Chain A
Amino acid sequence: MRKMLAAVSRVLSGVAQKPASRVLVASRNFANDATFEIKKCDLHRLEEGPPVTTVLTREDGLKYYRMMQTVRRMELKADQLYKQKIIRGFCHLCDGQEACCVGLEAGINPTDHLITAYRAHGFTFTRGLPVRAILAELTGRRGGCAKGKGGSMHMYAKNFYGGNGIVGAQVPLGAGIALACKYNEKDEICLTLYGDGAANQGQIFEAYNMAALWKLPCIFICENNRYGMGTSVERAAASTDYYKRGDFIPGLRVDGMDILCVREATRFAAAYCRSGKGPILMELQTYRYHGHSMSDPGVSYRTREEIQEVRSKSDPIMLLKDRMVNSNLASVEELKEIDVEVRKEIEDAAQFATADPEPPLEELGYHIYCSDPPFEVRGANQWIKFKSIS
Chain B
Amino acid sequence: MAVVAGLTRRPLEQVSGLLRRRFHRTAPAALQVTVREAINQGMDEELERDEKVFLLGEEVAQYDGAYKVSRGLWKKYGDKRIIDTPISEMGFAGIAVGAAMAGLRPICEFMTFNFSMQAIDQVINSAAKTYYMSGGSQPVPIVFRGPNGASAGVAAQHSQCFAAWYGHCPGLKVVSPWSSEDAKGLIKSAIRDNNPVVVLENELMYGVPFELPPEAQSKDFLIPIGKAKIERQGTNVTIVSHSRPVSHCLEAATVLSKEGIECEVINMRTIRPMDIETIEASVMKTNHLVTVEGGWPQFGVGAEICARIMEGPAFNFLDAPVVRVTGADVPMPYAKVLEDNSVPQVKDIIFAIKKTLNI
Contact = CB atoms under 8 A, between A and B. Distances in A.
A210 B54 contact: no
B195 A203 contact: no
Given A149-B133, A206-B90, A210-B85, A161 B98 contact: yes
Interface stretch (B70-78, B99-107, B229-237, B344-352): B99-107
Interface stretch (B3-11, B21-29, B135-143, B326-334): B135-143
B80 interface: yes
Nearest to A166: B125
B149 interface: no
Interface in B255-308: 273
B122 to A, nearest CB: 6
Interface string A367-384: 111111001010000100
B201 to A, nearest CB: 22
A347 B147 CA distance: 55
Contacts of A371: 139, 193-195
B104 A207 contact: no
A168 to B, nearest CB: 9
Contacts of A174: 98
Contacts, number: 146
B136 A390 contact: yes
Nearest to A209: B86
A205 to B, nearest CB: 8
Interface in A197-212: 202-203, 206-207, 209-210
A377 to B, nearest CB: 7
A173 B101 contact: yes
Interface string B81-105: 0010110101111111111111110
B63 interface: no
Nearest to A155: B134
Nearest to B94: A172
A207 B195 contact: no
A206 B88 contact: yes
B131 interface: yes
Nearest to A208: B91
Given A179-B95, A203-B94, A210-B88, A368 B171 contact: yes
Contacts of A147: 135-136
A329 B193 CA distance: 54
Nearest to B98: A176
Given A156-B138, A166-B126, A175 B311 contact: no
A174 B91 CA distance: 11
Nearest to B104: A180
Nearest to A148: B135
Contacts of B122: 169, 172-173
Contact of A177 (B80, B98, B193): B98
A207 B94 contact: yes
Contacts of A238: none
Contact of B91 (A166, A210, A367): A210
Contacts of B104: 179-180, 183
Given A146-B135, A166-B125, A209 B88 contact: yes
Contacts of B131: 367-370
Contacts of A144: 135
B280 to A, nearest CB: 14
Contacts of A178: 98
B132 A367 contact: yes
B40 to A, nearest CB: 23
Contact of B134 (A154, A172, A202, A390): A154
A370 B99 contact: no
A115 to B, nearest CB: 7
Contacts of A209: 86, 88, 91
B124 to A, nearest CB: 10
A66 B311 CA distance: 58
Contacts of B173: 369
A352 interface: no
A366 interface: yes
A346 B94 CA distance: 36
A213 B94 CA distance: 16
Contact of A377 (B94, B97, B170): B170
Given A149-B135, A179-B104, 6 more contacts: A148-B135, A149-B133, A156-B137, A169-B125, A203-B90, A368-B132
Interface of A: 113, 115, 144-150, 154, 156, 161-162, 164-166, 169, 171-181, 183-184, 190, 202-203, 206-207, 209-210, 213-214, 366-372, 375, 377, 382, 390
